[in-house]
C-alpha cells in the first residue's frame, strides 16, 4: 500500500538515464537490466501522442480514455453499514482497454501513471493501479503542469507515490454525489415525474437561478429623473455637468416636476466653478487566468459555453498537431484556481514584453498576484507554455496541418489560445495611467459635477481589457474637460431632464453564474462547466436570449427540494462541504468521518421527505373553468410537460387544455388549434397548428381519424440538393433547440443548424437564406454558403429579424 502522504520516490535507473536537463536535445535512453521498457499511462490519446514524442524508444504510452472504474449504474454501490465502502466496478466500455493495459504492464519493468494532476486524475491513477498491481508491482505516479519536453522529462525522472489523501478526497466527493443523487431522485420520481434527478451541487445552482427569477418577478419598477446641463467656460469646448446635490444633499427625483424645479433654479442662478480636482489614476493589469475566470471571459468575449471552453482548453493542454513540430502542448493545466506563475515563465514573458513594447510597458519588478486562501496552489495559473508560439504562428501551423479539424474548430482553438496568450502578457505589463478631472459647480441651491478622464499611458491595455459583465463599468469614454479655474463663471447652454425607470436584476449568464458560484465557494474549477451543462441537460434550466432561466420544471423541483432538504440546497452548507473536502486532500480530515457527519441528518431528511413532500402527481387545484365536453369542473394538474387543465371527470372524460396564469391569478385558456395553409399529405384535409411538449407542430384537422403530423415550417427549403424537404425547428432528446430538414433521418437528410434560418437571400452571394444568432449584444446574421462569409448585425442590414 503506498504511503499515506505524497512522497518523492527515488528515480529509477531508466528514468535517470532518460532525464534531459534543460529541455534540449533528448539523450539516448537505456532499457532496464531485464531488457524491458517503461509503461506510461495517461487519460487521452492526444496526450499520449504528445508525450510519446518526448520520450522516444524504451517507453510505451497508453491512454485509459478517462475513468476506468466507477460506482455501478444499476445500484447505489455504497455499503452504508460498513463506513460507506464504495463498490467500484470496471466500466463496461473500458474492459478491453484495461486488458490491453494489463498486458502492457506485464511486459514493462515499471509503470508510471500520468493522468491529470488533480483529484479526478488521482482517482484514475489509483483505479488503474488497483487493476494492474497483480501484473506489475513497480507502480509510481508522475505529475506535470504542462506537456512540454522539459516538464515531461523532469516528471519522468522524479516519480512519486500515489497520493492517498487526494484520492480519498475525490472518493468522498463521488460518494456524496451518489448518496444525494440515488436517494433523492426516486422521491422525485414518485412525487413529480419519473426520470428526474437531483445533484448535490447542481441543485444549488438551480436554486440561485430560481431565486433570481423570483426577484425579477417580484420587482416593481419605479420612476426616477436625472438632470444634465450643457455648460461652457471661458475656454472651449462645452461640457456636460450632472446634478449631484440639492441644498447640500443628494436629490431624490421621482417625478418630472422635481426635475423641472431644479432646471428652473439653475437657470435663475449664476453658475460658478467651486472646485477643480485633478489626479492620476492607475489601473493595474488583471492576474493570469484561473479556470473560472477563463470560462467567464471566454463566455463574455468569445460567446463560448463553459463546456466548449474546457474542451478547447483540454486540446491546447494535451497537444495539437503543429506541422513538422508534431503534437505540441500549448498551455499549462487548465483546471486551477491558483494565480502562481513559475519564475522561468515570468522571466520569459518579461523578455518578450521588453522586445515587443516600449521600456515603459515593462515594470521594474515582476507583478505578483495574491492567490485566494482556498486555492489549491499545486498548479500554476493558465498560461502559454511556449512563448515562441504566438497566436499568429499557431494559426498558420494549425491551418497548414489541420489534422482532420474543420476551419471552425481551428478558429475556435486560436481564439481561445489568443485570449490566454494576451491575458498572460498583460499580467506582467505596467499599469494603465489616466488623468482624472472633476469639476464641482454651484448654482445657488443646486450642486453640479462634471467628470472626465484621459488615458495618458495605455500600459497593459495595449494587449488586454477585462470584460465587466453585469457590473457598472468605469466610464473611460468621457474624454478630457476644458481648463477652468475656481471662481470662474460658466454659461448655461441647455438643460436635459430625463425620465428613467429602475430595472430588475438581470438573469444570470453563464459567466455571471460561474462568478457567483466561485464567490460563494460552490464547486471547484473542474466542476463549473459540468454544473452548467447538467442543469440544462436535465431540463431544469434553459437559455432565453443568451441568459439562463429556470424552467417550470426547475422552479417546481427547486421548491420541493428547498423545503425537504434545506441543508443540501443551502449555499453555505455546500461551500463548507467543499472546504472539508479540501481538508481531506490536505490530510487533516478523515473522509469517512466527513461522510458520517453528512449522512446522519441527511437520512432524517430522506425519511421525512418520503412522507411529507408534496405529491404533485396526485394534487388537483380547483378552478372556475367548466369542461366543454361533459360540463364538469376543470382542475389544474401536474403532468409530464408541466401544469395543465384537466377535466375532473377523468378517466371518464379526458378533455385537457393549456392555459396561462394572468398577474391577477385568473386563467386564460389557450386555443387547442389554429388554421394553417398546409394540406395533410395523407388525406388532403387542412392541417392545423397544435402545441405539444416541444412547441408547435402541424396536425391533420381530422384527428383522431387521421393522425398525420408534421413539424412547423420556417419558410426555408432544405439546401441539400434533391432533398425536397423544408427546414423546421426541432429539439434534441435533451430538449435543446436546433433546426433541421423535415426529412431529417440518419439515412435521408442530415442537414442541421444550431442557428435559426431566416427566409431572406444573402446580399453577397444570393444564397436563398441566411441564419441568425441571438447574443447578449443583439442579433447577428450570417451566410452559411461555402466560401461566402457574409455577416452583419441585423440592425445594420436590410434583412428583417425572423419573428
Q: How does DSSP assign 367-414, residue by residue?
A: ---PPPTT--TTS--B-BS-TTS-HHHHHHHHHHT-TT--HHHHHHHH
Q: Residue 624: which residues within 8 A CB-CB, separation 6 or more?
A: 633
Determine the Cα–Cα distance for residues 418 and 722; give it in Å rounded to an integer: 42
Contact, 331 vs 146, CB < 8 A?
yes
Q: Residue 29: which residues within 8 A CB-CB, separation 6 or more?
A: 14, 17, 18, 56, 57, 58, 59
Determine the Cα–Cα distance for residues 468 and 456; give it in Å rounded to an integer: 22
Tell me the CB-side half-sphere exposure of residue 382, using CA atoms within 13 A: 27
Tell me the CB-side half-sphere exposure of residue 152, using CA atoms within 13 A: 29
What separation in angstroms does the CA of 18 have from each of 11, 28, 40, 68, 768?
A: 10, 7, 13, 29, 61
Q: How does DSSP assign 112-132, residue by residue?
A: EE---SSHHHHHHHHHHHHHH
Determine the Cα–Cα distance for residues 552 and 559; give it in Å rounded to an integer: 11
Tell me the CB-side half-sphere exposure of residue 494, using CA atoms within 13 A: 6
Q: Residue 16: which residues within 8 A CB-CB, separation 6 or more?
A: 157
Strands, E assignment, 235-383:
239-246, 271-283, 320-321, 327-328
**Residue 566: how many other CB atoms lie within 10 Å:** 12
User: Among residues 88, 333, 528, 739, which one is catalytic?
Assistant: 333
Strand partners, 773: 780
Strand partners, 499: 225
**DSSP-derived 3-state class of residue 481:** coil
Comparing C-alpha atoms, which of 516, 601, 607 is closest to residue 566? 601
Chain centroid to CA 607: how far?
Answer: 35
What separation in angstroms does the CA of 207 have from each of 559, 583, 639, 640?
A: 8, 26, 22, 21
Tell me the CB-side half-sphere exposure of residue 132, using CA atoms within 13 A: 34
DSSP state, residue 285 = P
Please report the sign of the dihedral spanned by the C-alpha atoms of residue 356, residue 360, residue 366, residue 372.
Answer: negative
- The vertex-288 CA angle with 287 and 290, nearest 5°, equals 105
Buried b (16+ CB within 10 A) or exposed e, 192-201: bbeebbbbbb
Strands, E assignment, 84-238:
85-86, 89-90, 110-113, 139-141, 223-232
DSSP state, residue 158 = S
Is 417 one of the catalytic residues?
no
Contact, 404 vs 326, CB < 8 A?
no
Determine the Cα–Cα distance for residues 374 and 383; give it in Å rounded to an integer: 21
Q: Which residues are catalytic?
A: 333
Amino acid at each position: 500500500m503506498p504511503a499515506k502522504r505524497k512522497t518523492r520516490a527515488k528515480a529509477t535507473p531508466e528514468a535517470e538515464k532518460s532525464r534531459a536537463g534543460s529541455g534540449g536535445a533528448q539523450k539516448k535512453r537505456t532499457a532496464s537490466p531485464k531488457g524491458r521498457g517503461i509503461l506510461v499511462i495517461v487519460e487521452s490519446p492526444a496526450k499520449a501522442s504528445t508525450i510519446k514524442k518526448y520520450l522516444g524508444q524504451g517507453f510505451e504510452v497508453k491512454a485509459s480514455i478517462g475513468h476506468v472504474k466507477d460506482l455501478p449504474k444499476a445500484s447505489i454501490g455504497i455499503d452504508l453499514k460498513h463506513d460507506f465502502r464504495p463498490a467500484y466496478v470496471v466500466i463496461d466500455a473500458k474492459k478491453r482497454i484495461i486488458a490491453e493495459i494489463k498486458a502492457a504492464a506485464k511486459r514493462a519493468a515499471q509503470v508510471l501513471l500520468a493522468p491529470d494532476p488533480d483529484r479526478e486524475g488521482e482517482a484514475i491513477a489509483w483505479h488503474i493501479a488497483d487493476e494492474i498491481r497483480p501484473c506489475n508491482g513497480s507502480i509510481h505516479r508522475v505529475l506535470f503542469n504542462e506537456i512540454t519536453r522539459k516538464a515531461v522529462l523532469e516528471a519522468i525522472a522524479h516519480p512519486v507515490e500515489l497520493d492517498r489523501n487526494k484520492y480519498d478526497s475525490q472518493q468522498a466527493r463521488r460518494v456524496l454525489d451518489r448518496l444525494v443523487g440515488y436517494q433523492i431522485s426516486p422521491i422525485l420520481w414518485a412525487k413529480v415525474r419519473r426520470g428526474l434527478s437531483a445533484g448535490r451541487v447542481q441543485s444549488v445552482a438551480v436554486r440561485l437561478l430560481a431565486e433570481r427569477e423570483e426577484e425579477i418577478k417580484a420587482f416593481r419598477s419605479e420612476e426616477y429623473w436625472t438632470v444634465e446641463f450643457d455648460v461652457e467656460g471661458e475656454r472651449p469646448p462645452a461640457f456636460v455637468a450632472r446634478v449631484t446635490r440639492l441644498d447640500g444633499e443628494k436629490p431624490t427625483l421621482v417625478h418630472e416636476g422635481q426635475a423641472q424645479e431644479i432646471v428652473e433654479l439653475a437657470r435663475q442662478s449664476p453658475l460658478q466653478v467651486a472646485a477643480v480636482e485633478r489626479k492620476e489614476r492607475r489601473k493595474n493589469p488583471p492576474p493570469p487566468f484561473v479556470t473560472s475566470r477563463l470560462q467567464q471571459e471566454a463566455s463574455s468575449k468569445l460567446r463560448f459555453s463553459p463546456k466548449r471552453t474546457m474542451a478547447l482548453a483540454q486540446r491546447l493542454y494535451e497537444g495539437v498537431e503543429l506541422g513538422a513540430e508534431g503534437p505540441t502542448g500549448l498551455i499549462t493545466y487548465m483546471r486551477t484556481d491558483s494565480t502562481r506563475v513559475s519564475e522561468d515563465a515570468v522571466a520569459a514573458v518579461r523578455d518578450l514584453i521588453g522586445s515587443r513594447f516600449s521600456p515603459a510597458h515593462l515594470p521594474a519588478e515582476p507583478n505578483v498576484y495574491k492567490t485566494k486562501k482556498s486555492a489549491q496552489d499545486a498548479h500554476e495559473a493558465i498560461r502559454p507554455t511556449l512563448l515562441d508560439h504566438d497566436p499568429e504562428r499557431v494559426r498558420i501551423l494549425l491551418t497548414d496541418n489541420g489534422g482532420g479539424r474543420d476551419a471552425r474548430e481551428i478558429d475556435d482553438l486560436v481564439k481561445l489560445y489568443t485570449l490566454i496568450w494576451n491575458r498572460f502578457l498583460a499580467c506582467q505589463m505596467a499599469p494603465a495611467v489616466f488623468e482624472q478631472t472633476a469639476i464641482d459647480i454651484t448654482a445657488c441651491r443646486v450642486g453640479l459635477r462634471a467628470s472626465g478622464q484621459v488615458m495618458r499611458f495605455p500600459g497593459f491595455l495595449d494587449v488586454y481589457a477585462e470584460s465587466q459583465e453585469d457590473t457598472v463599468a468605469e466610464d473611460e469614454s468621457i474624454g478630457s474637460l476644458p481648463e477652468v479655474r475656481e471662481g470662474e463663471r460658466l454659461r448655461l447652454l441647455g438643460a436635459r431632464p430625463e425620465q428613467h425607470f429602475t430595472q430588475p436584476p438581470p438573469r444570470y449568464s453563464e459567466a455571471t453564474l460561474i462568478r457567483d458560484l466561485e464567490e460563494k465557494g460552490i464547486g471547484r474549477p473542474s466542476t463549473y462547466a459540468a454544473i452548467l451543462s447538467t442543469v440544462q441537460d436535465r431540463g431544469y434550466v434553459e437559455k432565453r436570449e443568451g441568459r439562463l432561466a429556470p424552467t417550470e420544471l426547475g422552479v417546481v423541483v427547486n421548491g420541493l427540494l428547498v423545503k425537504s432538504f434545506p441543508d443540501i440546497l443551502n449555499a453555505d452548507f455546500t461551500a463548507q462541504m467543499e472546504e472539508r473536502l479540501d481538508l481531506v486532500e490536505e490530510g487533516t480530515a478523515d473522509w469517512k468521518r466527513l461522510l458520517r457527519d453528512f449522512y446522519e441528518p441527511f437520512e432524517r431528511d430522506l425519511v421525512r421527505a418520503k412522507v411529507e413532500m408534496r405529491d404533485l402527481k396526485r394534487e388537483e387545484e380547483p378552478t372556475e373553468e367548466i369542461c366543454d365536453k361533459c360540463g364538469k369542473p376543470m382542475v389544474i394538474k401536474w403532468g409530464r410537460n408541466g401544469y395543465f387543465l384537466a377535466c375532473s371527470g377523468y378517466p371518464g372524460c379526458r378533455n385537457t387544455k393549456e392555459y396561462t396564469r394572468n398577474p391577477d391569478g385568473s386563467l386564460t385558456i389557450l386555443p387547442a388549434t389554429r388554421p394553417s395553409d398546409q394540406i395533410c399529405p395523407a388525406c388532403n384535409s387542412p392541417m392545423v397548428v397544435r402545441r405539444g411538449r416541444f412547441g408547435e407542430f402541424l396536425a391533420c384537422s381530422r384527428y383522431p381519424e387521421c393522425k398525420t403530423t408534421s413539424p412547423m415550417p420556417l419558410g426555408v427549403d432544405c439546401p441539400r440538393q434533391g432533398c425536397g424537404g423544408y427546414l423546421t425547428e426541432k429539439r434534441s432528446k435533451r430538449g435543446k433547440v436546433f433546426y433541421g430538414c423535415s426529412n431529417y433521418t440518419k439515412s435521408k437528410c442530415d442537414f442541421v443548424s444550431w442557428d435559426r434560418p431566416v427566409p431572406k437571400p444573402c446580399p453577397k452571394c444570393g444564397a436563398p437564406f441566411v441564419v441568425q444568432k441571438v447574443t447578449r449584444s443583439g442579433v447577428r446574421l450570417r451566410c452559411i454558403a461555402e466560401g461566402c462569409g457574409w455577416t452583419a448585425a441585423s440592425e445594420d442590414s436590410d434583412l428583417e429579424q425572423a419573428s
